[in-house]
């Protein structure tokens, strides 16, 4: 019988959606290729800079508040435009 385990790594890498895992330190921990391809940054650039460096200026305030709430509540998922 074939294994029915879902390959999250493959799903993450092949998804056309922009997916990432971010650390509480404000840096990307994992980024799928769609992020790099869509935004036009090299993977090395995305990993080497703070996430805040890629946030639109007018959104930085709300992003900071949401991040603070996540740090307090220890939630793992939130959506940004």
Domain range for residue 66? 8-73
The whole-number average pLDDT for the span 50-66 is 84
Whole-structure pTM value: 0.69
* Number of domains forming the structure of the chain: 1
Please report, for the domain that includes residue 49, its CATH number.
3.30.450.20
3-class secondary structure for the chain?
Answer: CCCCCCCHHHHHHHCCCCCEEECCCCCEEEECHHHHHHHCCCHHHHHHCCHHHHCCHHHHHHHHHHHHHHHHHCCCCCCCC
Return the percentage of the chain with pLDDT > 90, whole number.
Answer: 46
The whole-number average pLDDT for the span 1-29 is 87
| Residue 29 lies inside a defined structural domain of this protein | yes
Residue 18 above 60 pLDDT? yes
More confident residue, 79 or 55: 55
| Residue 27 lies inside a defined structural domain of this protein | yes
| Residue 1 lies inside a defined structural domain of this protein | no
| Residue 13 lies inside a defined structural domain of this protein | yes
The whole-number average pLDDT for the span 45-55 is 92
């Amino acid at each position: 019988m074939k294994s029915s385990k879902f390959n999250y790594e493959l799903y993450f890498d092949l998804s056309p959606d922009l997916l990432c895992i971010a650390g509480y330190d404000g840096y990307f921990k994992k980024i799928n290729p769609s992020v790099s391809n869509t935004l036009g940054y090299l993977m090395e650039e995305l990993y080497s800079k703070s996430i805040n460096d890629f946030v639109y200026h007018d959104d930085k305030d709300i992003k900071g508040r949401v991040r603070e709430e996540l740090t307090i509540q220890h939630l793992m998922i939130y959506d940004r435009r």
